């Protein structure tokens, strides 16, 4: 949790609640205003637009490439020194098949280009690619948090678990508002944000 926020909040728990409330409202706007159709699909530029919109009320670094190295547990994400090159390579990755799209998603997760909010914005980014290329999205509400986190942790060395897990949750209800809202709530729950339901905001 980054306490250097635009809201001037120093209490990390209160900041987490406000971040969840404000960014979930923005996530709903992305859907209801059909803004996701305006962003590039499958590129860092597209992800940057999503992240920038989601976190604009909370962090000054919304939509900006991180300038510090970050880790999660024992996992070290791409060092800042190689980040721009890694993102350039991800942009060039094909996205014609389900397997190619998930491989691209895994690589973007390893890159983790932002200080905060990578998982939440990258899952929306993944759905936009799946929608455009395959006419499907993931119903994130059907995926167990622990199963997802374990599969993602292993994905850089073994992608079979995450491939199977996400495939089983695919749906062709690509514009269903309820699927999207339940998916946002589930996506946030993976990261420990579950104070608000998006439909109540």
Domains and CATH numbers, the chain: 12-200 (1.10.3290.10)
DSSP letters, the chain, are -----TT----HHHHHHHHHHHHHHHHHHHHHTTGGGTS-SSSHHHHHHHHHHHHTTT-TTTT----S--EETTEEPPPHHHHHHHHHHHHHS--SSHHHHHHHHHHHHHH--SSS-HHHHHHHHHHHHHHHHHS-EE-GGGS-HHHHHHHHHHTTT--HHHHHHHHTTEES-TT-HHHHHHHHHHHHHHTT--S--GGG-
On average, the pLDDT of the chain sits at 95
Position 156 scores a pLDDT of 93
pLDDT digits (tens, 9 = 90+) for 172-197: 999 999 999 999 999 999 999 999 99
pLDDT higher than threshold 60 for residue 3: no
Identify the residue with better confidence: 50 or 72: 50
pLDDT digits (tens, 9 = 90+) for 101-155: 999 999 999 999 999 999 999 999 999 999 999 999 999 999 999 999 999 999 9
Position 4 scores a pLDDT of 78
pTM of the model: 0.96
Tokens standing for residue 37: 């159709």
């Amino acid at each position: 949790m980054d306490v250097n926020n635009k809201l001037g909040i120093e209490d990390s728990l209160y900041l987490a609640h406000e971040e969840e409330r404000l960014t979930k409202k923005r996530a709903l706007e992305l859907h209801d205003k059909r803004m996701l159709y305006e962003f590039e699909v499958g590129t860092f530029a597209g992800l940057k637009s999503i992240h920038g919109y989601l976190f604009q009320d909370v962090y000054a670094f919304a939509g900006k490439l991180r300038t510090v190295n970050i880790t999660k547990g024992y996992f070290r994400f791409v060092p800042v020194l190689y980040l721009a090159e890694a993102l350039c390579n991800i942009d060039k990755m094909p996205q014609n098949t389900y397997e190619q799209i998930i491989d691209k998603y895994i690589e973007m997760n390893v890159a983790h280009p932002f200080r905060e909010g990578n998982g939440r914005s990258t899952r929306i980014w993944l759905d936009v690619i799946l929608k455009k290329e395959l006419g499907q999205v993931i119903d994130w509400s059907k995926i167990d948090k622990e199963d997802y986190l374990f599969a993602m942790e292993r994905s850089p060395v073994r992608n079979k678990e995450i491939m199977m897990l996400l495939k089983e949750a695919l749906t062709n209800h690509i514009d269903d508002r309820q699927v999207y809202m339940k998916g946002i709530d589930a996506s946030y729950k993976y990261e420990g944000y579950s104070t608000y339901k998006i439909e109540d905001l």
